[in-house]
Amino acid sequence: MADSSPDVAENTDGNGGEDRRGFVTRLMAVICGGIAGAVPFFSGLVVILDPLRRKAGGKGFLRVTTLDSVPDDGIARYFPVVTDRTDAWNRYLDEPIGAVFLRREPGSDELQCLNAICPHAGCFVDFNIPDKQFQCPCHDSNFDVGGTRINPEACPSPRDLDTLEIDPQHLKEGEVWVDFKNFLAATPDKIEKQ
């Protein structure tokens, strides 16, 4: 303001009160207008952010099939996971909510359970029986029969297929109950979807 004209300087000197009032007026205009606009906007924003508040939470162990349905031939088999499903305002009884691959080694009573969703971008993997490989049809991630990435350096997936826990008690009784969960795609860590 070093080279401000004398006119302006005089004006400022002479009308200090008016200037202050001018500032208050402008401030009030911005505040009033801002509030008037912000209230409807934020009331909408709160509603649209509702999903952040909800926690899906696991459904606990779900019955998937019987041990007899998984022959001990080392081949991974696809099983849908069926339970009640809620979609916003609708509740569906006994609907497939996802799928797992179950596999049993020859002579073993132990089961391996993998979520059928590829950890890369969320497509369903297929099990290729001749090659004994899991293959993702979307971006060509390949996993061996145990769900481990065949070539981690060249595999688009950031982690191996997600293993799921099987309830040992039910397994002894010949039934397969799985703690079914979905995990975030595209992350190196296995983070449960909320």
State the residues that interact with other proteins by CB under 8 A. Answer: 48-49, 51-52, 54, 56, 63, 65-66, 68-69, 71, 73, 75, 77-78, 80, 87-90, 95-99, 116, 120-124, 126, 135, 137-140, 152-159, 175, 182, 184-188, 191, 193-194
Minimum distance between the CB of residue 69 and other proteins, rounded to whole angstroms?
5
Q: What radius of gyration, in Å, describes the C-alpha atoms of the chain?
A: 30
Length of the chain: 194
Q: Of 29 and 45, which has the nearer Cβ to other proteins?
A: 45
Compute the distance between CA of residue 102 and CA of residue 77 in angstroms, rounded to an integer: 5
Minimum distance between the CB of residue 97 and other proteins, rounded to whole angstroms?
7
Minimum distance between the CB of residue 191 and other proteins, rounded to whole angstroms?
8
Minimum distance between the CB of residue 85 and other proteins, rounded to whole angstroms?
9
Compute the distance between CA of residue 189 and CA of residue 39 in angstroms, rounded to an integer: 39
Q: Of 7 and 153, which has the nearer Cβ to other proteins?
A: 153
Minimum distance between the CB of residue 61 and other proteins, rounded to whole angstroms?
13
Compute the distance between CA of residue 110 and CA of residue 167 in angstroms, rounded to an integer: 11
Distance from chain centroid for Cα 162: 14
- Beta-carbon contacts of 117 under 8 Å, excluding residues fewer than 6 positions away, are 98, 123, 124, 125, 162, 182, 183, 185
Q: Of 156 and 163, which has the nearer Cβ to other proteins?
A: 156
Q: Of 1 and 49, which has the nearer Cβ to other proteins?
A: 49
3-class SS of residue 19: helix
Q: Of 36 and 93, which has the nearer Cβ to other proteins?
A: 93
Compute the distance between CA of residue 73 and CA of residue 90 in angstroms, rounded to an integer: 41
